[in-house]
A and B are shown apart, each in its own frame.
Chain A
Amino acid sequence: NAGVMQNPRHLVRRRGQEARLRCSPMKGHSHVYWYRQLPEEGLKFMVYLQKENIIDESGMPKERFSAEFPKEGPSILRIQQVVRGDSAAYFCASSRGNNEQFFGPGTRLTVL
């Protein structure tokens, strides 16, 4: 049973470009969460999604960031017009209902 998959593992973008991060949840999990972790800091909740629905986006920056979890395919975290401050590790987690979350290996975004 494959775990949570994230790709790419590393992503380099120049300022102003777009970044797309993908997350495939564990089989049987319909809940997906995205977190951001800046260097030497803790996990910061960004958004919680179920299939085709955003349940809680209270941690998402108001501009440039969006997330989706379509009926088919992975969840996508999209960052438009990236800036240096977006450089961080982005972790995705999935769960079966409101239970323990299982994390993917993360995508490390570097903005030059």
Chain B
Amino acid sequence: RKEVEQDPGPFNVPEGATVAFNCTYSNSASQSFFWYRQDCRKEPKLLMSVYSSGNEDGRFTAQLNRASQYISLLIRDSKLSDSATYLCVVNTPDMRFGAGTRLTVKP
């Protein structure tokens, strides 16, 4: 089993839709979790950290499920500018990136 796994997508959604991504990890001792965003041909940028209690930043909500060993990212009221690849990151114990989930938001 890979250390960090993501559904590669692509997810194609209309503007205004709600979309959710999951990411599973194999190391039950992992302590740090993040979501990054990568635009085409650019470097990945930190979107948000994922805390045990779950956290929200505007239209974005991140959650952690330790029992099932996955993290999730929910995007509400999606915008065209949300089109990107979303990468989950887990420390295993070194930081490891998932392969990314590609999202395209269409008018």
Contact = CB atoms under 8 A, between A and B. Distances in A.
Q: Do A and B come from one complex?
A: yes
Nearest to B48: A100
B98 A42 contact: yes
A45 to B, nearest CB: 6
B32 A42 contact: no
A43 B49 CA distance: 19
Given A35-B97, A42-B100, A104 B46 contact: no
A43 B34 contact: no
Interface string A19-48: 000000000000001010000011101001
Given A43-B87, A98-B32, A100-B34, A48 B43 contact: no
B1 interface: no
B95 interface: yes
Contact of B95 (A33, A42, A91, A104): A33
Interface in B56-99: 85, 87, 89, 91, 93-99
Given A35-B97, A43-B38, A45-B97, 9 more contacts: A42-B87, A42-B99, A89-B41, A91-B44, A98-B91, A100-B49, A101-B46, A101-B95, A106-B42
Interface of A: 33, 35, 41-43, 45, 48, 55-56, 89, 91, 93, 95, 98-106
Interface of B: 8, 32, 34, 38, 41-46, 49, 85, 87, 89, 91, 93-100
